[in-house]
Chain A
Amino acid sequence: MRQPLKQAIRERFEDIELSRQQLDELASRFAAGDAPVPARKPAWLRAPAVAAAMIVLAIGGLFGTQVYQSHQDRVLLQSIAEEVADNHLKLKPLEVQGSDLPSVLGYFTDLDFQLLASPRITANSGDRLLGGRYCSIQGIDAAQLRVAADDGTLSTWYEATLPADKLRRIPDLDRGERPAEFMVRGVGIHIWQEKGIVFAAAKAAASD
């Protein structure tokens, strides 16, 4: 059956994956966290940098720390947004189909956290839940839900969990914070947390 070139190419590559043995081999050789720090620069180059850093610390103090943390937060959120965009654009086949949110959530029995039936997922009138599938966010199993709007536009929703040190960097609606917003490869993405669960929503950016 003929299909658009883009879709045909995606499907061609969907099946191409490293074997479990290859993944394990790579993981053992290049495990997360094993990456060495960049090579040290010569002392004559380091000295000004150290002096500059000390000055920044002295002047910036707490402000500097906050800026750094803010940058780190942004790096994490951007990384999640990239993953969410990947998942959204691939639109892999649904593993469970249905329009009843609690029933669809019931499919995800292998997750290490309790999924929330957030009313935001089908908050817009006309939105229809299509189903869901397992995916991963930051290397941890997560749930992806797919929702169709009245006009056929698809959005994907994600519920995930993260270690505490990462979770605290995600905007928390329960503390009155607003979701982080990103635009990745034409996909508009919102990321937030509710009750300790990380949520992300993705849909194609509206064209003007």
Chain B
Amino acid sequence: MFDHADLNRLYRYCRVLCDQESDAYDLLQAAMERCVKSPPRTAASEVGYAMRIIRNLFIDQLRSSARASFEPFDEDNVALDFDLASLESTMLDRSELEEVWSEMTVVEREILYLWALEGYSTDEVAGHLDKPRNSVLSIIHRMRKRLKERFGEAQSAG
């Protein structure tokens, strides 16, 4: 059903959602079981299908354990003129990334992962998260603002 490359790809996505390696592996196993019980309709959509299952299981786990919660998507008056392309020019080193990464919400990490590793567009990210595009843009806007405030303009030249 999935080759090693697919499994590693899905595992990385689990690691975006779970801080602990063991939690990520448990999540991947649970998702695989679900995929086997309810396989996707086409082979082409297997990985995307599995990613959606992983996300749904993760949200279920969060709800049941109440360990954390998603930030509400505030549709306030922030300027929604930043899409993922606005992050293209952000420059930072590995330690700065680790620092920022550890402070990000799960949704922020997910957005960055889907953008950087899966090559998703803003619309595709919104589709995967099942959220309105403006909500995603709002999150991107806040992320970019924080990067600029933290590291200065030089970090986000674009």
Contacts and interface: CB of A to CB of B under 8 A. Distances in A.
Check if A and B associate. yes
Interface of A: 1-6, 8-13, 16-18, 22-23, 26-27, 29-39, 75-76, 78-79, 82-83, 85-86, 89-90, 136, 138-139, 185-187
A115 B35 CA distance: 36
Given A8-B97, A35-B1, A75-B42, A23 B7 contact: yes
Interface of B: 1-5, 7-9, 11-12, 15, 25, 28-29, 32-33, 35-39, 42-44, 47, 87-94, 96-98, 101, 112-113, 115-120
Given A5-B87, A11-B94, 7 more contacts: A4-B89, A9-B97, A35-B39, A75-B43, A76-B43, A85-B119, A138-B3
B1 A5 contact: no
A27 B115 CA distance: 28
Given A4-B90, A138-B3, A17 B39 contact: no
B91 A2 contact: yes
Contacts of A1: 93
B117 A10 contact: yes
Contacts, number: 119
B119 A89 contact: yes
Contacts of B1: 30-35
A18 B11 CA distance: 7
Majority secondary structure, B binding face: helix
Contacts of A26: 2, 7, 28-29, 32
B151 to A, nearest CB: 10
Given A18-B25, A32-B1, A79 B43 contact: yes
Given A4-B90, A85-B119, A139-B3, A9 B113 contact: yes
Nearest to B42: A75
B37 A82 contact: no
- Which of B11, B25, B47, B116: most chain A CB closer than 10 A? B116
B5 A30 contact: no
B97 A30 contact: no
A18 B8 contact: yes
A76 B2 CA distance: 14
A37 B2 CA distance: 16
A36 B40 CA distance: 11
B116 A10 contact: yes
Contact of A12 (B5, B11, B94): B94
Contacts of A185: 118-120
A34 B25 contact: no
Nearest to A7: B116
A30 to B, nearest CB: 5
Nearest to A78: B44
Nearest to A74: B44
A2 B97 CA distance: 10
19 contacts: A5-B90, A5-B116, A8-B97, A9-B116, A12-B94, A18-B4, A18-B28, A26-B29, A30-B1, A30-B32, A32-B3, A33-B1, A34-B1, A35-B1, A38-B39, A39-B38, A86-B5, A185-B120, A187-B119
